[in-house]
Chains A and B, each alone.
Chain A
Amino acid sequence: MLKDEEIELFINELAQRYGYDFTNYARASLRRRIGRLITVDRMPSFAELYHRMQNDPGYLMHAIEELTVNVTEMFRDPSVFKVIKEEVLPVLATHPFIRIWHAGCSTGEEVYSMAILLDEANLLHKSLLYATDLNPSVIENIKKGIFPLNRMQQYSENYIAAGGKKDFSTYYTAQYGWAKFNQKLRLKMIAAMHNLVSDRSFNEFQLIFCRNVLIYFDKPLQDNALKLFDESLEKLGFLVLGSKENIRFSPIAKKFSQVQKEKIWRKIQ
């Protein structure tokens, strides 16, 4: 088992040598990720990993990819998307131009889900979806719009549970175990690197998604990220978090009101 000092050594190395600041990541999860990195790369000990980090800059990207959790799905928690469709889209529709930010979007399944909802509401043509993540490689995936075919049955069920009326398979073309999504969905996407720990606000949005990212942060870093979202939201804009995340105990809570029982909050002041 990893010692606390080893975790701190590792974090210091990432921060000082490479500028990736994991200082305020929740330790329990980070401990598992570092342990997993050692297992996946068949290293005999932490010392081996540490030596590699110090001497092989090429190893960094791989390490960052493994340390950050890239698990996502389309229309994850369908009830959230149902409420977005019924309560949020009609509000967005009144704007001449719609700006949405998917912060920590991982491989982009959520961005494509949102593009589908916008397309069905006939709003995609006047929307821009900013998809950002810490990981450069996952951003490449968003640009390609290619996802594993074996997930499509689950996604189709989620889509229907979220109130989707079409045949989900009309949105992609199946080829060699992959589903390639329609070009039209990604024309309005902008993918970029953004680190919620160190990067600032870069625009004003009417809707921000950040789902199952804050769970990896400690409380002070969560509060910082929420402040960044508050600063990046227009008045009466919406913030969507993961199903077990909450703004209840953060300083921004008083400026927001929850939409139904979902993890959607509207900025009221």
Chain B
Amino acid sequence: MAEDPVNKYKILAVGGSAGSLDAVLKIVTALPANTHLSVVIIVHRKSDGESILTDLLSTRTNLNVKEIEDKEPIMPATVYIAPADYHLLIENEDLFSLDISEKIHYSRPSIDVGFESIAQVFGKAAIGILLSGANADGAEGLNQIKQAGGFTIVQDPKSADVAFMPQQALEIMQPDKVLSSSDIAIFIKALLTKQA
């Protein structure tokens, strides 16, 4: 039972920046409807006060999609989006919290900050995916998820719209998988689908 991936993982964290939207949509679309995972999307975006990304992702999945508010409970079978202009932190396995401290890698939310916090709290129950981007943010955080025993995937820089971010990750770590965005979606679907 312990090694069954369907039960082993509790959280799927996806980080991306420039050129990552397409891959995020593919991954969210591929999530099994009966998954118990909490999915956390951390992407760099402008603070526009609108819920465009939430609405867009809602059209791709039957799971509940919502932007995180402070001290929001972490529920299973839910896709969470890190709000623009806040760092995302994990207070404990059941609770998110937010932080407006200094930008990291010119970014808030910083993927490094979110991933590090996820690694600290969830350890080997976390899956981390780092996608396309023009920024070094996320590489160190993904490495920490790996160090804590979690499963890590980097988008193949050759398939990424902007190769820099996944390339940075590959320079400091060896992820469990390096895949194109379509293959990440296929892999996640297979990993999280309950065997009959």
A interface residues, Cβ below 8 angstroms from B:
1, 26-29, 32-33, 36, 69, 71, 77, 79, 212, 214-216, 218-219, 222, 242-246, 249
Contact B100 A71 (CB under 8 A): yes
* B99 cross-chain contacts in A, Cβ below 8 A: 28-29, 32, 69, 215-216
Quote the shortest CB–CB distance from B110 to chain A (angstroms).
11
Which A residue's beta carbon lies closest to that of B90? Answer: A28
Quote the shortest CB–CB distance from A172 to chain B (angstroms).
24
Q: Which of B83, B89, B102 lies in contact with A28, CB distance below 8 A?
A: B89
Contact A212 B69 (CB under 8 A): no
Q: How many angstroms between the C-alpha atoms of A79 and B102 in the bound complex?
A: 23
* B91 cross-chain contacts in A, Cβ below 8 A: 26-28, 218
B23 at the interface (CB under 8 A from A): no
Contact B70 A69 (CB under 8 A): no
Top 8 nearest A-B pairs by Cβ distance? A28-B89, A69-B101, A215-B70, A29-B99, A26-B97, A215-B98, A244-B69, A28-B91
Q: A71-B100, A71-B101 are in contact. List 7 more A-B contacts (CB 8 A).
A: A1-B120, A26-B91, A28-B121, A33-B101, A214-B70, A215-B97, A244-B83
B68 at the interface (CB under 8 A from A): yes
Q: How many angstroms between the C-alpha atoms of A27 and B97 in the bound complex?
A: 9
* B49 cross-chain contacts in A, Cβ below 8 A: 77, 79, 243
Given contacts A1-B120, A79-B49, contact A29 B101 (CB under 8 A): yes
B107 at the interface (CB under 8 A from A): no
Contact A245 B101 (CB under 8 A): no
Contact B90 A244 (CB under 8 A): no
17 interchain pairs, CB-CB under 8 A: A1-B120, A28-B91, A28-B97, A28-B121, A32-B89, A36-B101, A71-B101, A77-B49, A79-B49, A212-B100, A215-B99, A215-B100, A218-B91, A244-B69, A244-B70, A245-B69, A246-B69
Which A residue's beta carbon lies closest to that of B103? Answer: A71
Contact B89 A222 (CB under 8 A): no
* A244 cross-chain contacts in B, Cβ below 8 A: 68-70, 83, 86, 98
* B71 cross-chain contacts in A, Cβ below 8 A: 26, 215, 218-219, 222, 249
Q: How does the 8 Å CB contact mask read for B80-121 relative to A, with 1 for contact and 0 for none?
A: 000101100111000001111110000000000100010011
Quote the shortest CB–CB distance from B132 to chain A (angstroms).
26
* B113 cross-chain contacts in A, Cβ below 8 A: 32
Quote the shortest CB–CB distance from B65 to chain A (angstroms).
16
Which B residue's beta carbon lies closest to that of A80? Answer: B49
Quote the shortest CB–CB distance from A243 to chain B (angstroms).
8
* A36 cross-chain contacts in B, Cβ below 8 A: 101
* B69 cross-chain contacts in A, Cβ below 8 A: 244-246
Quote the shortest CB–CB distance from B164 to chain A (angstroms).
25
